[in-house]
Amino acid sequence: MNLKPLFEPKTLAVIGVSSTNERHPANVIFDKNNHRYPVDVYGVNPKGGKLHDAILYPRVSDIPKKIDLAVIAARAEFVPDIIAGCIDAGVKSAAVISGGFTEGGRADLQNRMVDIAREANFPFIGPNCLGLFVPSRVDTFFLPIERMIKPTPGNVAFISQSGGILVDQMIKFTQQGVGMSKAVSIGNKALIREVDLLKYLLSDPVTKVIAFYVEGFAEGEGREFVQAADCSPKPIIIMKSGKSEAGGRAVSSHTASMAGDYASFAAAIAQHNIVEAANEQELVSFCEVLSAYTKPIDGKIGIITGSGGHGAMAVDASAAAKLTIPEFSEDLKATLQKQLTENVRSIASVNNPVDLTGSAVDDDFVVCAKILGASPEIDCIIVLLLPYLPGVTLDIGVRLSQVQKQFKKPLIAYVPHVEKYNMMIDGFEMNGTPVSPSIEGAVLMAKALMRKKPC
């Protein structure tokens, strides 16, 4: 199946638009795409008529242009016939927003819809979903535009069975400065499933990281998915629900998925080229760091801090994440000691973590990062920055990012995320260096880099 029309439509039909209810999901989708995205948008209502100044067409076949993507927001019992009509009219793809299928006890409707589409090789997302959001191109989410938080364009694609989880993650991505290439809510995934989207995104030049929220796989589907992921040059992240017996029941009632045995699932993906995120915090952290650095590391971490307590917390978090904090060689410690500014040289600790103390200035952080960047003793640097230290300026983010670019070794920063420090954070993020609002988050980023190397 050709999935390109789903993600790069030039023409869009919204089926189910109401001439009387402005807040109908189809109307929200029509309005937000009309004049805001580079697509020609057409509304479809069986009675015809007008919506503002726009003509409403009784059937999709009445639209004067061929349609790349149809968004279907009609009652479930009408959807199979609507899909058949789309196929007859030469529509290339669809997102079925409507609910009331397998998750509502109407497997017959869903099966009929799938049979019609599969026979015609017609791709559709859903049903029971939000559909697709592609920055600056198309948005089929039936969420009012004034309430949506939209991440900036970026290189992370996120596919989710749950529309609510997807929207929540988009908010978190925005808060942490993670850009998205595509967001896809697949709902019941009646036809297009995770493995289909994985295969498409592997060849998508805009996407560098592929993340999934998964509730369950069909029998045999999990094996196909991990095999497709195993040789992926792009990092793949999974966050799964339904880990407990009660969670499995909740998953089944939500999208009629079978959660399966979580222990077997976790063991399987650990053997393949997949990173499992235990929760939403991990998912955002993993996406941010893997969108910046795609090459796996062995997990030998060098820590630079302005506070001994912060360094100790980072060491504990690293141990819990099975990262290594190696003891520096005497030669490396001597080099570090020699290069520090005079005020800090006599009071700093050059063990790992390197504790520069509260007297450190920008030059101390930068020279330590350069020395560790050149050292084979570690393969990733975590810098714990306390922006309130008197000798640290708001330029430190830019300066440390230049060090990372020079030595090509992953550098991860911790900076408290408050408005007062935005200039420092921007200095990192504008130069592609990931920043975490917590020490644990910074360590989680390093953990994500220790993924299995692609085959």
Please give the angle made by the CA atoms of 371, 376 and 379, to the nearest 5 degrees. Answer: 90
Look up the pTM and report it: 0.88
The string over 111-142, giving b where at least 16 C-beta atoms fall within 10 Å of a residue's C-beta and e elsewhere, is: ebbbebbeeeebbbbbbbbbbbbbbebbbbbb
d(CA 448, CA 29): 36
Dig out the tokens for 134 from the structure: 């592609």
pLDDT for the residue 226 = 86
Class of the domain covering 294-449: alpha beta
The pLDDT tens digits of the residues spanning 29-87 come to 999 999 899 999 999 999 998 888 899 999 999 999 999 999 999 999 999 999 999 99
For the chain, give the percent of residues with pLDDT over 90.
76
**137 alpha carbon, distance to own chain's centre:** 18
pLDDT for the residue 258 = 47
d(CA 85, CA 72): 12
pLDDT for the residue 251 = 46
The pLDDT tens digits of the residues spanning 201-252 come to 999 999 999 999 998 888 878 888 888 888 788 999 999 986 555 544 544 4
- Beta strand residue intervals within 103-248, DSSP E: 124-125, 131-134, 138-139, 153-160, 180-185, 209-214, 236-240
Distances in whole angstroms, Cα of residue 317 to Cα of each of 158, 172, 257: 27, 22, 35
12 pLDDT higher than 60: yes
Pick the CATH number of 149-292 from 3.60.15.10, 3.40.50.261, 3.10.20.600, 3.30.200.20: 3.40.50.261
For the chain, give the percent of residues with pLDDT over 70.
94
pLDDT for the residue 404 = 96
The pLDDT tens digits of the residues spanning 109-163 come to 999 999 999 999 999 999 999 999 999 999 999 998 888 898 999 999 999 999 9
Task: Please state the rounded mean pLDDT for residues 18-33.
Answer: 92
256 pLDDT higher than 70: no
CATH topology of domain 1-124: Rossmann fold (3.40.50)
Domain ranges for the chain: 1-124, 149-292, 294-449
- C-beta separation of 321 from 443 below 8 A: yes
149-292 and 294-449 agree in CATH topology: yes
Q: Which of 103, 99, 47, 46 is nearest to 73 (CA)?
A: 99
- C-beta separation of 178 from 291 below 8 A: yes
Cβ count near 3 (within 10 Å) = 18
The pLDDT tens digits of the residues spanning 292-334 come to 998 889 999 999 999 999 999 999 999 999 999 999 999 999 9
Task: Please state the rounded mean pLDDT for residues 178-201.
Answer: 96
288 pLDDT higher than 50: yes
User: What does the mean pLDDT of the chain come to?
Assistant: 91
106 pLDDT higher than 60: yes
pLDDT for the residue 418 = 79
